Amino acid sequence: MFFVPFCGDYVFHYHYRIFPVLESGRFVGIIDVRSIKGVSPADWPTTKIGAYLSDPSRYCVLDLSVDAADALRILLTQKSSKGPIVRNGVLLGFLTPSDLFKLVFLKRDIAA
């Protein structure tokens, strides 16, 4: 996909900071709005987003089998704001530290 439809259909429509990139339904990486800033809008019609995927070392891919405490530890240790959850190459969703903190407080409030 080129930058023009990507920005129009996704970035400007949904206003998220990162987007998963799929190829034939399989998770191949993440594109970050910061990557887009480095490309001149004049080049958007001919520039493919695949060339600007975030460095995989900047995010951590979580397997669905990881429990909540381990997922939080991984995200905080790697200073990652979001972790894609992937099983067999298929993206299931994203997990954030704030999601996990909400879960902890919800469990605490219910148990109280």
What domains, with CATH codes, occur in the chain? 1-57 (no CATH), 59-112 (3.10.580.10)
pLDDT at 81: 83
Residue 106, φ and ψ in degrees, nearest 5: -65, -45
Identity of the residue numbered 38 = G
Each residue's pLDDT tens digit, 1-18: 999 999 999 999 999 988
Each residue's pLDDT tens digit, 63-93: 888 888 899 898 889 888 888 998 998 999 9
pLDDT at 112: 64
Each residue's pLDDT tens digit, 37-64: 889 999 999 999 999 998 766 778 888 8
Rounded CA separation 23/109 (Å): 41
- This model's pTM is above 0.85: no
